[in-house]
Chains A and B, each alone.
Chain A
């Protein structure tokens, strides 16, 4: 019985019905309530203009589970991340990890955002061992977005140098 409930709990759609009918199993085997919160009330879902010079886009995939995650950051002229958006297609833990990641990068500088670790994300969301790779995906998405932003800035600088010559 607990095994069957645990199995169906991994599907986000079934999760919502199970939550109402088997509350005593929640703490034992289902998604943590923080994950459920991010799943039901995701923060910062959406897109930013990827062609803008101030926007970095990170697109990552996890082949073992087939999850795809896009995370975008908008950086102001002082190097501070002022906005972040994500779109994730995958399990509840992946969605929650990327939602949390967009919350955490806002207000940080580009260098500070690099210090966000997957272990911090996993700890905050109380991810079980089998879902730790979702937090790794989120960390990689942040880094990919920052790298894309850096690349754009460097390209800009090179253009400016060429233009002034």
Chain B
């Protein structure tokens, strides 16, 4: 029986290794691999684990490639994973620590940064709540807390702590938050020229940049800074409205405008620091 099961495991695994699968189906592959555990009844899970060749303390789902080739099993539902240390099921997702043995867990692939920071998936954000959550997580996840623990735990705490940092900084600023929300919907701002850009808008940007270049006093720089902040505030509201309505294209165009003004804001800060 062991050999038959391992045959079942090996063949679909080879299908997974096919380059086309990896290139085009990366997202669904990961999802399906995770979802398999939901599709098996409980006793199958136990059997599957028993048939698994020992691979140390990892809980990677190499054994669950069985259903990877059948599209019916693709889903985005909740899935149950087990602790790498004590093998007990992890009750929550994202699971930072095991409820049973308290071991730190590695971050799961493709977890949304919104989930990690326990924030609703929307553009308007309570940054105080975000910061509190960030500090709360880092208090327990920071690698300094694991200096006496095993190497495995140290590595997991490092990667989780880095991910929490990334989540915090991405969600803190409206521009990066908006771009991330578009990314989750499969939309990115392409590199290269924006051929659809409004020439008057570009002219306005040029004039602001030129004026900033020629400022002689901090007051003048501040004036431009205030003007830019005003523009950014208006854009933030417009992006919020567009995203709520699901108008991704207009949100994308507005985020592009925001990028230009965010750059000007950075330059204002540099100018002001030069005056000091």
Contacts and interface: CB of A to CB of B under 8 A. Distances in A.
Given A136-B193, A137-B193, A64 B259 contact: yes
A64 B199 contact: no
A59 B192 contact: no
A59 B197 CA distance: 10
Interface in A111-165: 133, 136-137, 140
B6 interface: no
A136 B195 CA distance: 12
A60 B202 contact: yes
Contacts of A23: none
Given A13-B270, A59-B199, A64 B206 contact: no
A89 interface: yes
Contacts of B189: 63-64
Contacts of B137: none
A66 B194 contact: no
B202 A64 contact: no
Interface in B145-192: 189-192
* Interface of B: prevailing SS: helix
Contact of A64 (B192, B205, B210, B262): B192
A63 B256 contact: yes
A109 B190 CA distance: 32
B208 to A, nearest CB: 9
A62 interface: yes
Contacts of A65: 191, 259
B203 interface: yes
B209 interface: yes
B100 interface: no
B40 interface: no
Contacts of A61: 193-194, 197, 202, 205, 260
Nearest to A136: B192
B62 to A, nearest CB: 32
B49 interface: no
A115 B194 CA distance: 21
A162 B259 CA distance: 45
A59 B267 CA distance: 20
Contact of B190 (A64, A68, A70): A64
Interface of B: 189-195, 197, 199, 202-203, 205-206, 209-210, 256-257, 259-260, 262-263, 267, 270
Interface of A: 13, 59-68, 70, 87, 89, 133, 136-137, 140
